[in-house]
Amino acid sequence: AVNLRAAVRWLALAGIAALAGCASSDKPPPTPLETVEPRIAGRQVWASSVGRVGFPLVPAAHGGVFYVASGDGEVLALQADNGTVLLRASAGGALSAGVGSDGRFTSVVTRGNEVVTFDGGRELWRKRLPSSVVTPPLVAGERVFVMGVDRAVHAFDALDGTKIWSLQRPGEALTLLHSGVLTAVKDTLVAGQGPRLAGIDPTRGSVLWEVPIGTPRGTNEVERLADLVGPALRLGNRLCARSFQAAVGCVDAEAGRLLWSRNTGGIQAVGGDDELVVGADASDRILAMKTANGETAWTSERLALRHLSAPASFGGAIVFGDYEGYVHFLDPKDGQTLLRLATDGSQVVGRPTLSGRTLLVVTRNGGLFAFRPD
């Protein structure tokens, strides 16, 4: 059984800097920001807001629309190019996970363990789940896929909520209360199962392949936590992901084959492109790895201890958000700062999300900030 109390306690220990800023007196202070002369042109093109975000939000983008949600259950869809609100709905309670959308159906999960699905702004159905959920639902093929903290995966009919199948794998004694990996590559559903990626038949719920990215290490359950941290980086048929505090690796999700894996610490998801896979370790030392083989391209400590978000690749730059709401645009060649833009002063949550030429950054206070290169 999943020891949720221990998982919460572990998050409080391992993620205190990211969740509570730099209040601890025995922690070294965040690296002061250097003065930056902009080397690329970029600007904020619109801003909006949703209620305070107190859960691991991963915004969704589909068809030129951003989907976001607040901790108290408000769900918004906004036109990516201008921020116009296209729909507004309420889940009727606090959220633990979201958002998933295919452009028509949008799903979130409440703290009461209910998956709630909307068609436009109208609630279609809600179903209770057997465990808590912190990973955003995946909506695809008129189905809603949900993965619990016990790593059980459930498939529902998007139209009426009928459960189609459930997959419960033998799992670790302890799992991480952090957004995991749940995505699709062509006709394969891919889910993180501890330190392994599993390819699943979305029609039957049967496992097609399984590939380990990390290897648990340590002498007790807490030290051996190596869950995959989402969202995964998708590059065609290739998926790259972080195994919590253990490794980063890439998998051919069509063939079910490990391409490479390397031991490296870190608690946030990775980002990047066809050239680089980039992530920060637990001290926010940034490591850029060659996408082809995982070899080190460069490292940087200029944003150390600034509680960085997962990164995104945008406009020829690698983009991180930090605990003060700054958005840092780094040169993919060497990690030098190309541009820095401000938001509302609160921590950037999730990974900056791209739709076309517009990048959405969400802050803990519920600020929605859209940026675009000039």
Backbone angles phi, psi at 16, to 5 degrees: -60, -35
pLDDT band with cut points at 50, 70 and 90 for residue 216 = confident
Per-residue H/E/C for 224-254: CCCCEEEEEEEECCEEEEEECCCEEEEEECC
Segment 305-342, tens digit of pLDDT: 999 999 999 989 999 999 999 999 999 999 999 999 99
As a whole number, mean pLDDT of residues 52-57 equals: 90
For the ranges 45-59, 67-81, 213-227, the lowest mean pLDDT is seen at: 213-227
> At CA 257, angle to CA 254 and CA 259, rounded to 5?
110
Backbone angles phi, psi at 8, to 5 degrees: -65, -40
Tell me if 309 sits within 8 A of 326, measured CB to CB. Answer: no
Please compute, for residue 256, the number of CA atoms within 13 A of its CA located in the half-sphere on the CB side: 13
What whole-number distance in Å separates Cα of residue 322 and Cα of residue 280? 12
Please report, rounded to a whole number, the percentage of residues in the chain having pLDDT higher than 70: 90
Segment 91-120, tens digit of pLDDT: 999 999 989 999 999 999 999 999 999 998
The predicted pLDDT at position 208 comes to 97
pLDDT band with cut points at 50, 70 and 90 for residue 20 = very low
The predicted pLDDT at position 58 comes to 86
The predicted pLDDT at position 218 comes to 66
Tell me if 181 sits within 8 A of 193, measured CB to CB. Answer: no
pLDDT band with cut points at 50, 70 and 90 for residue 232 = very high
**Strand ranges across the sheet with 348-355:** 42-49, 367-373, 358-363, 348-355
Higher pLDDT, 224 or 345: 345
| Res. 18: pLDDT tops 50 | no
DSSP-based three-state secondary structure for 12: helix
Give the tokens for residue 239: 């998926």
As a whole number, mean pLDDT of residues 81-87 equals: 96
Tell me if 367 sits within 8 A of 327, measured CB to CB. Answer: no
The predicted pLDDT at position 342 comes to 97
pLDDT band with cut points at 50, 70 and 90 for residue 56 = confident
Segment 274-302, tens digit of pLDDT: 999 999 999 999 999 999 999 999 999 99
Q: What does each C-alpha distance from 345 to 326, 327, 348, 353, 364 come to in angstroms?
A: 7, 11, 9, 19, 9
As a whole number, mean pLDDT of residues 181-185 equals: 96
The predicted pLDDT at position 215 comes to 83
Whether the ω angle into residue 231 lies within 30 degrees of 0, i.e. cis, is yes
The predicted pLDDT at position 219 comes to 64
Amino acid letter at 372? R
Segment 348-368, tens digit of pLDDT: 999 999 999 999 999 999 999
Whether the ω angle into residue 277 lies within 30 degrees of 0, i.e. cis, is no
The predicted pLDDT at position 176 comes to 63
Backbone angles phi, psi at 4, to 5 degrees: -65, -35
Segment 132-158, tens digit of pLDDT: 999 999 999 999 999 999 889 999 999
The torsion defined by the Cα of 368, 370, 371 and 374, in degrees rounded to 10, comes to -150
Residue that the structure tokens 């250097």 belong to: 34
Q: What does each C-alpha distance from 226 to 17, 59, 174, 266 come to in angstroms?
A: 19, 24, 10, 10
Could you tell me how far CA 18 lies from the centroid of its own chain?
14
Q: If we measure between CA atoms, which residue out of 185, 188, 198 comes closest to residue 234? A: 185
DSSP-based three-state secondary structure for 134: coil
